[in-house]
């Protein structure tokens, strides 16, 4: 595949209470998102562990997006805060391994 046609495979881990609902609503409204984005619903981003991210990279993901509830809005109190720390840890691990840490990002 040449550089011009490169379409990165993005795995989006979405909390079912916020971002997944938003994606679902977008689907109901017939809005489209790129086919190279694969959405995985999670009960809370706090359920995600570092090995989930590493496994996604191992299986071919080019980038990972973690989308959780706003700070103070997590249904499991601090799951999004735990996820933020795990994403931070993963970024540091990637960086130490010579891989771009920008490949994983959390939004909320
Ligand atoms: Fe949404 Fe925890 S319930 S991030």
pLDDT one-digit tens code per residue, 31-81? 988 899 999 999 999 999 999 999 999 999 999 999 999 999 999 999 999
| Closest atom of ligand 1 to CA, residue 15 | 1
Mean pLDDT of the chain: 95
- Residue 92 pLDDT > 90: yes
C-beta atoms surrounding 87 within 10 Å:
23
- Residue 87 pLDDT > 70: yes
**Which ranges in the chain belong to alpha helices (H)?**
19-28, 50-58, 79-96
Cβ-count burial 40-56 (b if 16+ within 10 Å, e if not): eebebbbebeeebbbeb
In this predicted structure, what is the pLDDT of residue 33? 86
Q: Which residues is 41 bridged to in the sheet?
A: 14
Ligand 1: which of 12, 41, 42, 44 to mutate, most ligand atoms within 8 Å of CB? 44
| pTM: predicted TM-score of the whole model, two decimal places | 0.92
Ligand 1: which of 45, 82, 86 to mutate, most ligand atoms within 8 Å of CB? 45
- Residue 2 pLDDT > 80: no
- Taking alpha carbons only, the member of 31, 50, 39 closest to residue 10 is 39
Ligand 1-lining residues (CB < 6 angstroms) = 15, 17-18, 44-46, 68-69, 74-76, 79-80
Ligand 1: centre distance to CA 4 (Å): 37
* CA distances (Å), origin 46, targets 13, 41, 64, 90, 96: 11, 12, 15, 14, 24
């Amino acid at each position: 595949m040449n550089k011009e046609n490169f379409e990165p495979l993005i795995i989006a881990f979405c909390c079912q209470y916020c971002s997944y609902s938003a994606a679902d609503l977008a689907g109901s409204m017939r809005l489209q998102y790129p086919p190279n984005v694969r959405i995985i619903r999670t009960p809370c981003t706090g359920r995600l562990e570092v090995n989930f991210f590493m496994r996604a990279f191992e299986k071919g993901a080019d980038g990972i997006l973690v989308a959780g509830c706003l700070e103070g809005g997590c249904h499991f109190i601090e799951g999004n805060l735990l996820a933020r720390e795990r994403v931070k840890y993963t970024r540091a691990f990637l960086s130490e391994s010579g891989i771009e840490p920008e490949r994983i990002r959390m939004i909320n």
